[in-house]
């Protein structure tokens, strides 16, 4: 394996995480929904203004809960951007849904709302959208279309915790939203996630599904005197040790986001001239959006140039990585009818996008090193 001087990611780690894990052990509560989980739930609910937040074992599992809560069944159609992580749609495919792949906008790389209505059919049950790189989709238009057709919107908000659209937090706009605390995300506990519930009618059922189909949450709140099997369900709650790790990072939310803002802004300022000179496209952040500073990507002129640049940076000990392969052209996507040319913007962007190193502990020296790597690249033909 190549040793990189500068990795693409290092998980966020501040120092208090281990103290809090140790506290969870001294509390004698290391299973789910202990004191640290409750802190995390309250923090997300109060900070974002969502009706209920529930930690889960991953964003993938929160998406699976969303599919169960929306009653997705065989034959239902779910619209999803072709440019996203597989879990955004796999959670629904697991319940028998047929994915309908939407193309993305060439500027924000988010689901193209101008094409959305033409993808809706009698069978459409949900639209899953992704706020790519922590920059909001065009939510007013998307929600208006979804409401007109009675289709639920699920925000896969893995990139966009604390980002806003016209002043409103992402994750509060769809019926449901999901977060990821995987080690590559702004806030992490290794593996983890959350389901955000904006429709009060789904709260009790969500608690039941997350607790093995039992009404144990009501029991712990003293609302009933014994708990029992009341519905289908599974086990989606993380250990309080993981919640303890996450809580240390939520307590430092401003610090973490400010650090990422600085890294993002420095890349963006230093790359203006260089990108203009070489026909490289930098990220677009519309004025009505406050982004989450999840990643910094560049769009190169061609696949050939991208391949050469990855190699050039690697020779300097720097790891840069491309992103999603178009979902409709994957083995599974093709089984659902995906064909070359269905989503031309996705296909083009997937070939040209490159993500630069970006993590909490990234130093200015390291970032200058990455920039020097970009500036010394000459193979533009």
Q: Which of 90, 108, 110, 180 binds ligand PLP (CB under 6 A)?
A: 180
Using an 8 Å Cβ cutoff, are 198 and 44 in contact?
Answer: no
Task: Note whether 352 binds ligand PLP by CB under 6 A.
Answer: no
- The token pair at 344 is 């031309």
Round to whole Å and give the CA distance between 179 and 197.
Answer: 11
- The token pair at 304 is 């050939």
Task: Note whether 214 binds ligand PLP by CB under 6 A.
Answer: no
- The token pair at 102 is 């939407």
The distance of closest approach from Cβ of residue 7 to ligand PLP in the complex, given in angstroms and rounded to an integer, is: 17
Task: Note whether 239 binds ligand PLP by CB under 6 A.
Answer: no
Measured CA angle at 107 (ends 149, 100), to 5 deg: 35
Count the residues of the shown chain that bind ligand PLP, applying the rule CB under 6 A: 14
Positions in 148-177 near ligand PLP (CB under 6 A)? 156, 158-159
Q: Per CB under 6 A, which region of 20-28, 83-91, 94-102, 222-230 contacts ligand PLP?
A: 83-91
Within 10 A of 203 (CB to CB), how many other CB atoms are there?
16
Is 59 or 173 the residue whose CB approaches ligand PLP more closely? 59
The distance of closest approach from Cβ of residue 374 to ligand PLP in the complex, given in angstroms and rounded to an integer, is: 24
The distance of closest approach from Cβ of residue 307 to ligand PLP in the complex, given in angstroms and rounded to an integer, is: 23
Is 84 or 124 the residue whose CB approaches ligand PLP more closely? 84
Task: Note whether 196 binds ligand PLP by CB under 6 A.
Answer: no
Integer angstrom CA distances of residue 314 from 7, 184, 309: 10, 20, 8
Is 139 or 374 the residue whose CB approaches ligand PLP more closely? 139
* CA 94 from centre of chain: 19
Task: Note whether 193 binds ligand PLP by CB under 6 A.
Answer: yes
The distance of closest approach from Cβ of residue 179 to ligand PLP in the complex, given in angstroms and rounded to an integer, is: 8
Closest by CA to 299, choosing from 352, 249, 250, is 352
Task: Note whether 85 binds ligand PLP by CB under 6 A.
Answer: yes
- 254 burial (CB, 10 Å; 0-12 / 13-18 / 19+) is exposed
The distance of closest approach from Cβ of residue 174 to ligand PLP in the complex, given in angstroms and rounded to an integer, is: 14
Please measure the distance between the N-terminal and C-terminal CA atoms of the chain and give it in whole angstroms. 29
- DSSP category for residue 283: P
Q: Can you give the binding site for ligand PLP, defined by CB under 6 A?
A: 58-60, 84-85, 87-88, 130, 156, 158-159, 180, 182, 193
């Amino acid at each position: 394996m190549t040793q990189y001087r500068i990795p693409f990611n290092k998980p966020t780690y501040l120092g208090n995480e281990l103290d809090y894990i140790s506290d969870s052990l001294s509390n004698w509560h290391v299973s789910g929904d202990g004191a640290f989980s409750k802190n995390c739930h309250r923090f997300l609910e109060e900070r974002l203004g969502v009706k209920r937040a529930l930690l889960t074992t991953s964003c993938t599992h929160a998406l699976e809960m969303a599919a169960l809560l929306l009653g997705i069944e065989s034959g239902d159609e779910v619209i999803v951007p072709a440019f996203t992580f597989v879990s955004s749609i796999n959670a629904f495919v697991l319940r028998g849904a047929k994915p309908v792949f939407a193309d993305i906008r060439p500027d924000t790389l988010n689901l193209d709302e101008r094409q959305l209505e033409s993808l809706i059919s009698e069978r459409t049950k949900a639209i899953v959208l992704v706020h790519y790189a922590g920059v909001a989709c065009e939510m007013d238009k998307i929600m208006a279309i979804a409401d007109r057709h009675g289709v639920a919107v699920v925000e896969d908000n893995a990139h966009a915790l604390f980002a806003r659209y016209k002043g409103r937090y992402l994750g509060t706009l769809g019926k449901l939203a999901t977060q990821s605390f995987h080690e590559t995300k702004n806030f992490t506990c290794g593996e983890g996630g959350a389901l955000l519930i904006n429709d009060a009618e789904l709260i009790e059922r969500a608690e039941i599904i997350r607790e093995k189909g039992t009404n144990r949450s009501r029991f712990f709140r003293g609302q009933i005197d014994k708990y029992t099997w009341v519905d289908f369900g599974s086990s989606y709650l993380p250990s309080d040790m993981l919640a303890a790790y996450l809580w240390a990072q939520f307590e430092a939310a401003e610090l973490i986001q400010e650090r990422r803002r600085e890294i993002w802004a420095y890349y963006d300022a230093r790359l203006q001239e260089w990108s203009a000179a070489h026909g490289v496209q930098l990220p677009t952040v519309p004025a009505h959006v406050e982004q989450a500073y999840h990643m910094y990507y560049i769009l190169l002129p061609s696949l050939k140039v991208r391949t050469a640049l990855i190699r050039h940076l690697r020779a300097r000990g720097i790891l840069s990585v491309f992103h999603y392969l178009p979902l409709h052209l994957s083995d599974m996507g093709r089984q659902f009818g995906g064909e070359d040319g269905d989503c031309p913007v996705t296909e083009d962007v997937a070939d040209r996008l490159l993500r630069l190193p970006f993590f909490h502990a990234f130093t200015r020296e390291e970032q200058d090193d990455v920039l020097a790597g970009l500036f010394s690249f000459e193979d533009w033909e």
